[in-house]
A and B are shown apart, each in its own frame.
Chain A
Amino acid sequence: MRLVLVGTSHHHAPVELRERVALDREHSAQLSSQLGEAVCLSTCNRTELYVVADDAEEAERRAVAALAELEPQVEPALYRLRDQAAALHLFRVAAGLDSLVPGEGEILGQVRAAYEAGTPGFLLDRVFRQALHAGRKVRSQTAIGESPASVSSAAAALAEQVFGDLDGCRIMLIGVGKVGDQAARSLRTRGAEIVLTANSKTDRVQLEEELARVDVVVSSTSSRGYVLEAETVERARHGRQLLFIDLAVPRDLDPAIHELDGCYLYDIDDLEAIVSETLAGRRSEATRAEAIVATEAEKFHAWHASLDVVPAIASLRAHAEEIREAELRKAEGVLGRLDDTQRRAVESMTSQIVNKLLHLPTVRMKQAAVSADGVIYAEAVRHLFGLGEDER
Chain B
Amino acid sequence: MAEFLFWPALLLYGEAAVGYFGDARRPGVAGRAATWGVRLGWLVQTALLGVQAAREDGFPWGTWAGSLNLFVWLVVGAYLIWGCRGAYRLLGLVVMPLAAALLIVARAGGGTAIGTRSHYSNLFLVLHVGLVLVAFAGFTLAAALSALYLWQERRLKRRAPTILRRPAPSLATLDRVAARTAAFSLPPLTLGIAVGIEQLVQRGDRVDAIVVATFVTWAVWVAYLVLRLTGWSGRRAAYVALAGFVLVILVRLAFPVTHFA
User: Residues on A close to B: CB < 8 A?
Assistant: 142-143, 146-148, 154, 157-158, 160-164, 239, 241, 258, 261-262, 264, 266, 270, 273-274, 276-278, 281
Chain B positions 13-34 with a Cβ under 8 Å from a chain A Cβ: 27-28
Bound CA–CA A154/B157 (angstroms): 16
The answer on a CB contact under 8 Å between A162 and B159 is no
Q: In the complex, which residues of chain A have a beta carbon less than 8 angstroms from the beta carbon of B159?
A: 258, 266, 270, 273
The answer on a CB contact under 8 Å between A241 and B167 is no
- Most interface-central of A147, A154, A276 (chain B CB within 10 A): A147
User: Cβ of B235 < 8 Å from any Cβ of A?
Assistant: yes
The answer on a CB contact under 8 Å between A161 and B167 is yes
Q: In the complex, which residues of chain A have a beta carbon less than 8 angstroms from the beta carbon of B28?
A: 142-143
Contact residues on B (Cβ < 8 Å of other chain), bracket = 20 to 34
Cross-interface CB contact of A261 among B27, B231, B235, cutoff 8 Å: B235
Select from chain A the residue with minimum beta-carbon distance to B176: A164
The answer on a CB contact under 8 Å between B167 and A163 is no
Q: In the complex, which residues of chain B have a beta carbon less than 8 angstroms from the beta carbon of A276?
A: 161
Cross-interface CB contact of B164 among A162, A239, A262, A278, cutoff 8 Å: A278
The answer on a CB contact under 8 Å between A161 and B161 is no
The answer on a CB contact under 8 Å between B161 and A147 is no
Bound CA–CA A142/B27 (angstroms): 9
The answer on a CB contact under 8 Å between B165 and A277 is yes
The answer on a CB contact under 8 Å between B165 and A161 is no
Q: In the complex, which residues of chain A have a beta carbon less than 8 angstroms from the beta carbon of B170?
A: 160-164
Q: In the complex, which residues of chain A have a beta carbon less than 8 angstroms from the beta carbon of B156?
A: 158, 161-162, 264
Select from chain A the residue with minimum beta-carbon distance to B235: A261
Main secondary structure of the interface of B (DSSP, over half): helix
The answer on a CB contact under 8 Å between A261 and B163 is no
Bound CA–CA A143/B166 (angstroms): 10
The answer on a CB contact under 8 Å between B157 and A164 is no
Q: In the complex, which residues of chain B have a beta carbon less than 8 angstroms from the beta carbon of A147?
A: 164-165, 167
User: Cβ of B118 < 8 Å from any Cβ of A?
Assistant: no
Shortest Cβ-Cβ A-B pairs, 3 listed: A164-B170, A277-B161, A273-B161
The answer on a CB contact under 8 Å between B172 and A274 is no
Given contacts A163-B172, A239-B233, A261-B235, whether A157 and B161 have CB atoms under 8 Å apart is no
CB distance from B239 to the nearest CB of A (A): 12
Interface string of B154-182 (1 = CB under 8 A from A): 00110101111101111111000000000
The answer on a CB contact under 8 Å between A264 and B161 is no
Given contacts A143-B27, A143-B28, whether A161 and B163 have CB atoms under 8 Å apart is yes
**13 A–B contacts, CB within 8 A, in A order:** A147-B165, A147-B167, A158-B156, A160-B167, A162-B172, A163-B170, A163-B172, A258-B159, A261-B234, A262-B235, A273-B159, A277-B164, A278-B165
CB distance from A252 to the nearest CB of B (A): 17
Select from chain B the residue with minimum beta-carbon distance to A270: B159
The answer on a CB contact under 8 Å between B161 and A274 is yes
Given contacts A143-B27, A277-B165, whether A161 and B234 have CB atoms under 8 Å apart is no
Q: In the complex, which residues of chain B have a beta carbon less than 8 angstroms from the beta carbon of A274?
A: 161, 163-164
Bound CA–CA A274/B164 (angstroms): 7
The answer on a CB contact under 8 Å between B162 and A277 is yes
User: Cβ of B152 < 8 Å from any Cβ of A?
Assistant: yes
Q: In the complex, which residues of chain B have a beta carbon less than 8 angstroms from the beta carbon of A241?
A: 171-172, 234
Select from chain B the residue with minimum beta-carbon distance to A148: B164
Cross-interface CB contact of A161 among B171, B231, B235, cutoff 8 Å: B171
Bound CA–CA A142/B171 (angstroms): 25
CB distance from A85 to the nearest CB of B (A): 30
